[in-house]
Structure 1
Amino acid sequence: MDADISSTEAVAERREEILAAVETHAGRIARELAVLKGGDYGSETFNTDAGEWTVKYEAGALQYLRFSGKGGGETYVVSTHRPPDPKELATAMGDYDAFVAAYNAYVESLDGVLDGVTDEFPDVASTESVVAERDRIVGTIRETSNAMAGQLHRYEGDAYGTFAKRVDGKRWELKWEDGLASYLRVGGEGGIYLVSQYSPPSAQDVRTLADDFAGFVAAFNDHVDDLDADLSTVSFDD
């Protein structure tokens, strides 16, 4: 029990010095890769005669640096877990310069890769006229829908409600609130909103459905005529 116990302090301190230096140096590689790849996270592997090195980064910061030797086994030189075994670290560091050389060669291989790539492109066609015409037609549909909503509000006497009819096999539904159109939808749930509180319909949808809107208005007018006919039969005569 009197035998001396060797201290590992010097080895551990030297390992921490090496790891700190590698983390700083490889961290620069990670940042360069993040800039090159244009992503928040990713990884890249570089081959050497002794094995392969994998750099993983996130938000431009080094997550880990792993060495996989051709003889088998993996050494996480830098990681968020426990530090590597000193012998395994020494083996990996013996190939570190080759790893950096492989990274540099990779970067050099990209030199001139964008030469000759044009940054002149055709003019972009404007949608201004199409949008203006779409908005004009939708505006007219909204005005008519509001007029219908006003009539429904006056007749029903409720703050809100719906009116639905089928036109050429498609279900048209007008929802109104306080005398104004809340939406005009074609096709039921998941259908196309010609009038809504959100984004306008596409020009193609307007082209497809605008002509049928007249049929919906006609169906509404027929509905009003039926209401008028129903009331015309009421009599207070003895």
Structure 2
Amino acid sequence: MKLQIKIVLVEPLYQGNVGSVARVMKNFGFYELVLVNPCKLKGEARAMSSHAREILENAKIINTFNEAINDVSLVVGTTGMTSSKDDEHIRTPAYTPSELKNKLEGKNGTVAILFGREDNGFTNDELKSCDMIIHIPANDEYSVMNISHSVAVILYELSSIQSGEKSLAEPFDMKLLYEHLKELLEQIEYPAHKKDKTLLMFRRVFGRAQLTNREVQTLRGVLRIIQRRMK
């Protein structure tokens, strides 16, 4: 098994951008494109994809955000805006593309890199579903990049990445871990107004830790012992 990276465009508005993303993907050797509820893809998309038309034609088209992330071990969201405030966790911590490469070096498993809508980016709920956030440092006077340019910068960094022996935890196991944590917070009567933010913090901590299946099972074993002792 090796590291498998798929590019996900969430509700892209302009078919020219979709075609350009397909072209950039082929430039750097990436071939799996997923489109969530995209605009109609006609002649302009094919023209902009140039010699990467097969990536465009083989793109997986789905209806919802959750469909795009339910079969991946690590969900990476991109953002043009970050926050330096410690108590604003939705867009922090934000890694650069090179830092993401270092995190993924030597790993194997499936990773989705998500790009939001050209006009509104991601919703807060969508950002909360991301395990990691990445941001491309750009000119403060105009930091929002065209989506295909962003894809190019990120895939350039990741194109030389080497797979390794450390396997990322399976998506199903990670889902069980988060459900287990949520259950425990309810059992200990954790303050309701802090619960969502705390669960998001757990997701970001585990996202940058990039857990293995064994680590997930160990953590769940500890949670089960805590629950038994509480009873």
TM class, shorter-length: under 0.3
State the TM-score, normalized to the length of structure 1. Answer: 0.23
Tell me which structure has the larger Cα radius of gyration. Answer: 1
TM-score, normalised with respect to structure 2: 0.24
More strand by share: 1
